[in-house]
Structure 1
Amino acid sequence: MTQHWTEQDIPNQHGRVAIVTGANTGLGFETARALANHGAHVVLAVRDVAKGEAAAARIDGDVSVQALDLASLDSVRAAAADLRAAHPTIDLLINNAGLMFPPRSTTADGFELQIGTNHLGHFALTGLLLDHLLPVPGSRIVTLSSNGHRFRGADIRFNDLQWEQKYSRVGAYAQSKLANLLFTYELQRRLEPSGTTIAVAAHPGVSNTELMRHTPRLLQRPVSVLAPLLTQPAQMGALPTLRAATDPAVTGGQYYGPDGRGEVRGHPVLVSSSAAANNEDVQKRLWAVSEDLTGVTY
């Protein structure tokens, strides 16, 4: 019988500093809670500080709250400066926060909201914190992707990255989640000479969280009825992230997701990603574009 990896398998995290974006609710909250329960000092990096403080009050452990709006590069830079000042070393950076299927809008810097928040904001944050991770043996950067990276036609639209010509909320989401994997794989390639820090990706399957709040109106009722049957709780959805962040057997460039049919539900195991996500030329091109758009160079 195969033994499933569960929250109880998280090793002792005492002495470790973990930053979790979007940690006031859903997957991020469950990730932060589990890490704190196992001894880590966890920073809840959140857009709404009041909600972050309310979440922190529900966690039994050593936690703090940091203001971070990934849809604003000014906010990302300010948050990174605060985090660098407060934490000379960082053990875990978990790029969890994300948006799914919003109506078309833009970030403070004019990026389409999903690519801007899900990818570019995290790209900038990671780059600005990287030198506080590199000196730490066993440090990790975990970035959340999604089964959405496999949606039909998912690609990086270099000729219209911001979806200015014709917006598809599903297409833009798929692009952003594909970008998360392309970023992880290119980051790992660049980190390999360091021998200390690794980049890993994870996805939660289909979890019942606030991420679904932008579901198109016509689908909201069917989704609300079917969600309990077709999704898993956020506590289960967070397990691939937690395994990627803490399992001693994890190596750089791996991708973790649920073990059930279609990777929709289940316990975390090593999974594969699409051919598009493994295209090294696209990984390198997206990296260059991301540096140019954010002004953050690694």
Structure 2
Amino acid sequence: MTRRAVLITGGTLNLGFEAARTIALGHYPGSKEDPDKYLLVLLSRTDKNNAADAINKQAAAAGKPHRAVFRRLDLADLQGVRQFGRTWAEGVAAGNTQDFPPIQTLLLNAGLQFPAELVTVPSSGLEATFAVNHVGHALLFHLLAPYLDAAVSPTGARVVVTSSGTHDPAQKSGVPDAVYTSAEDLAHPPPDMVHVPGRQRYASSKLANVLWTYALARHLQQAGKLAGRDTQKYPGITANAFDPGLIPGTGLLRSGTGVERFLWNNVLPHIMPVLRMAYSTPNVNTAETSGRNLARLAVGPGGSGGEDSTDGIVQGISGKYYEMRRPIPTSKDSYVEAKQEDLWDWTIRYLAKGNAPEEARFREFR
């Protein structure tokens, strides 16, 4: 079986690292029926803990054929994202299948939260939360879409976007309600949105993740590139979103105050049962637990039961939002097609910047 690549943004720490480790060790549901060998590409600004080496040592000790590599990627740096895309394209063109194999899955997982009122990216002028959590990921997808080689894999190629329950006001997460007026307002906040709290910007970016995922599934279908349930007969790409739940101790609050970071890293991880009761949800998890759930969506070959059931089939399924191991409804705003299309069109136009051939390629997934 041809080795397949699984690219994971935020892959060196916390949820992304645990998803990669789970795949490498074969600890996801259905792993025994999965014939693929994986190259786990851990994308992040740094790999201070030598995450790829740690995964390789554990995989080798377990006798698994998978391997991991670290490659630097800063999602806020759109020119850097473009360079990564060019490097991948050049590697494929050169026939270097060892380092640039067909892509099985894009796990668009990395996320940042800035408690300050407004942080912008100097190189682009974009609001930083939206830039990292959405724009950089969207560019990465469009650059790599031609290399999502569904025909090689028995389970089809996949895109999984890590979102958050904070996108849905009905979940009462304690974060200010997400607001989507337009993509342009999130990218370049007008004067009346400059003082929006940073955590509301985060929630709004997570709503954008869901809107974009739904739009992606629809446009893949319109282009004839959406995978069907029988991925052997109808190869293509699936697109879904994932809510990892509240995971205390991760790097999400690294831009928070000293008190916030202390509570997040040293107190909350030890009171998860209390947090589940306080938020009236079981979706308060360790990174290991959520990593297994994310790995299932990334490479799990199927499932048992209907697609809407816990641990149901995931092969050939698109347009779902998974909480833990079950798809659930999302916020009212997330289903508004006009908002989905506003984000979809703005994103492609912004990324192409008037380059008509590139805009056409992005719209046609080529």
1:51 counterpart SS class: coil
Q: Which runs of 5+ in 1 are unaligned?
A: 1-12, 259-267
**How many residues were matched structurally?**
275
Kindly indicate whether residue 171 of structure 2 is the aligned counterpart of residue 156 of structure 1: no
Give the Å deviation of 1:17: 1.3
- Relative to the length of structure 1, the TM-score reads 0.85
Kindly indicate whether residue 127 of structure 2 is the aligned counterpart of residue 112 of structure 1: yes
Q: Distance in 2 between matches of 1:70 and 1:203?
A: 20
Classify 1:233/1:101 alpha carbon distance in 2 versus 1 (closer, same or farther; 3 Å). Answer: same
RMSD over aligned CA atoms reads 2.2
Q: Distance in 1 between matches of 2:257 and 2:200?
A: 14
Q: Distance in 2 between matches of 1:41 and 1:226?
A: 34
1:156 counterpart SS class: coil
Contact kept in structure 1, 2:39 and 2:67, CA below 8 Å:
yes
Kindly indicate whether residue 144 of structure 2 is the aligned counterpart of residue 129 of structure 1: yes
Residue of structure 2 equivalent to 1:4? none
Residue of structure 1 equivalent to 2:320? 254
Q: Distance in 1 between matches of 2:298 and 2:17?
A: 15
Give the Å deviation of 1:290: 1.0
Contact kept in structure 1, 2:167 and 2:177, CA below 8 Å:
no
Match of 2:217 among 184, 188, 212: 188
Q: Which has the larger radius of gyration?
A: 2
Residue of structure 2 equivalent to 1:242? 295
Match of 2:206 among 177, 185, 193: 177
Match of 2:51 among 50, 55, 72: 55
Aligned residue identity for 1:51: K
Give the Å deviation of 1:160: 2.5
CA deviation vs aligned residue, 1:99-120 (integer Å, no higher than 9, x gap) = 0234332223111111000000
Q: Distance in 2 between matches of 1:56 and 1:222?
A: 29
Aligned residue identity for 2:52: A
Classify 1:67/1:218 alpha carbon distance in 2 versus 1 (closer, same or farther; 3 Å). Answer: closer
Q: Which runs of 5+ in 2 are unaligned?
A: 27-36, 60-65, 92-98, 170-175, 228-235, 273-283, 303-312, 353-357
Contact kept in structure 2, 1:30 and 1:235, CA below 8 Å:
yes
Identity of aligned residues (%): 32
2:338 counterpart SS class: helix
Aligned residue identity for 1:243: R
Residue of structure 2 equivalent to 1:25? 13
Q: Distance in 2 between matches of 1:287 and 1:201?
A: 16
Indicate the larger mover: 138-147 or 104-113: 104-113
Kindly indicate whether residue 335 of structure 2 is the aligned counterpart of residue 278 of structure 1: yes
Aligned residue identity for 1:214: S
